[in-house]
Structure 1
């Protein structure tokens, strides 16, 4: 494949190698099986999304209601869904929506603000939108479904958005 689009990395989607640690203070690229690849990608996606979205996560968990299907539950469902979807995109098992390029988003400094705004907005929408569906409309299980859909779509669309933002930043 040619060079990946700006803001995207395809190396992990096209390779079975990931960085490993030998336990002797040295790291190296090692070949991993499918389970090892998935676990590595889940750990990466969890860190990527969780660090960026920490303000929304804390706000919902500190200020949210404690109903079984309230904002906390909806946020948790969306958060974990986003992590799994990002992991399968990073590993190359699926391609993101709106793009035929496999792989996740680079950790470029120019995309830090985008990550912060995007992931916090997605989790706030899922959490408080799910709470509104559960509370005001009295549809508790639908709130979980709403959070799941928000999680899938937000993670699946993020690589394309990051690609577009990186192109605009490169052009300016």
Structure 2
């Protein structure tokens, strides 16, 4: 068996697990177009719910080392250069959001990079946040497995997240986010 084939076989379980985790975690968007934080002048009507975002939560929140700078350009449809691994969530006072996910995995001489970007509207009720994606793109690149190279629209799937603003163990302002059946993840401002 060739070294390439052997390395591909060893990578397959990791790629499958990574892809399944991403699809579950992202639950992103794709086809319709509504006003978004990226495109505030686009006035196609409010066909997804939104409520004002509490002042304490407005802004950009990060988990991991991902940056939102040049992450995705809707005008060109291009993702930026990979930088870090993690998630960012930007919340506007008017009830719009942007979310970006970047994952990179390397094994032997193979590197797989996965980007996901969504934007849409958001509602708040008590500690429950609901994201209504109205736009989304995903990009995958792999220098060893050609079928893992693609750029496409993502599905529009509503996400429900439990949020709690507090502090981490070092006293830093922290937005704790979790899906209803999961443990919380810490998001910080930069």
Task: Give the shorter-chain TM-score range.
Answer: under 0.3
Structure with a larger share of its residues in strand: 2
TM-score (norm 1): 0.26
Structure with a larger share of its residues in helix: 1
